[in-house]
Amino acid sequence: MSEQYEVPSPHEHHVEHAHASGDGFASKIAVMTAIMATLGALLSYQAGSTESEAAMDKNNAAIVKTEASNQWNYYQAKSSRQNLADLASHIPGMDASHYQGEAERYKTDKEAARKKAEELEAQAHEWDEKSEQILHSHHRWAQAMTAIQVAISLAAMTLLTRKEWLEKLSLGAAGLSLVLGLLAYLNI
């Protein structure tokens, strides 16, 4: 019995009226908003993915830098031992030939450690550069995401105000988002 006296809300009345009258404008804006929301989800995924990848590359750089530091420490230890062996070869009563041989061995070991440390430093530099490039791409994806969010907000305002200039502004923001997404994809 109470169902006979149900009073629809203004929103329900508007929705019923819009569907009954075949409001093409509202339908167009709704589809446009759904497309932009889908694009936003893709942009958000790419922004998060590139951020994670940049962090991993930065982490790899730090690991390799630590390995390079260890090699430099090894180089310093061999250098100290080389100097001590060279000193011992000049002390009277010591086996000079033995300590000269040891000094040469430490010199060879030291050079191998230096080369390894320099290679590791080069690798760390490459990881850092890769991280910076990906981080730049991440910023572009984030900018594209921001532009599409603005476009969606403008589309909502368009639906509420029915102002065509807002629709054009929304489409412009969506276009900017696409351009920024393309720049991110091209890593520009």
* Whether pLDDT at 80 is above 80: yes
Distance from C-alpha of 112 to C-alpha of 119, rounded to nearest angstrom: 11
23: pLDDT confidence band, cut at 50, 70 and 90? confident
- Each residue of 37-72: pLDDT tens digit? 999 999 999 999 999 999 999 999 999 999 999 999
In whole angstroms, what separates CA 107 from the centre of its chain?
43
- Each residue of 104-161: pLDDT tens digit? 999 999 999 999 999 999 999 999 999 999 999 999 999 999 999 999 999 999 999 9
Structure-block tokens of residue 127: 């990881």
Where do the domains of the chain lie?
25-185
Report pTM: 0.69
Distance from C-alpha of 85 to C-alpha of 98, rounded to nearest angstrom: 9
6: pLDDT confidence band, cut at 50, 70 and 90? confident
pLDDT of residue 24: 87
Instruction: Provide, rounded to the nearest whole percent, the portion of the chain with pLDDT above 70.
Output: 89
Average pLDDT score, the chain:
90
Distance from C-alpha of 181 to C-alpha of 92, rounded to nearest angstrom: 75
Query: Which residues are within 8 A (CB) of 79 and not within 5 positions of it... i.e. 6 or more apart?
Result: 106, 110
By CB neighbour count within 10 A (0-12 exposed, 13-18 middle, 19+ buried), where does 26 fall? middle
Contact 131, 52 (CB under 8 A): no
Tell me the average pLDDT across 89-118.
92
42-47 long-range contacts (CB < 8 A, ≥24 apart) are 43/141, 43/144, 43/145, 43/148, 43/177, 43/181, 44/145, 46/141, 46/181, 46/184, 47/138, 47/141, 47/142, 47/144, 47/145
* Whether pLDDT at 3 is above 70: no
Distance from C-alpha of 99 to C-alpha of 111, rounded to nearest angstrom: 18
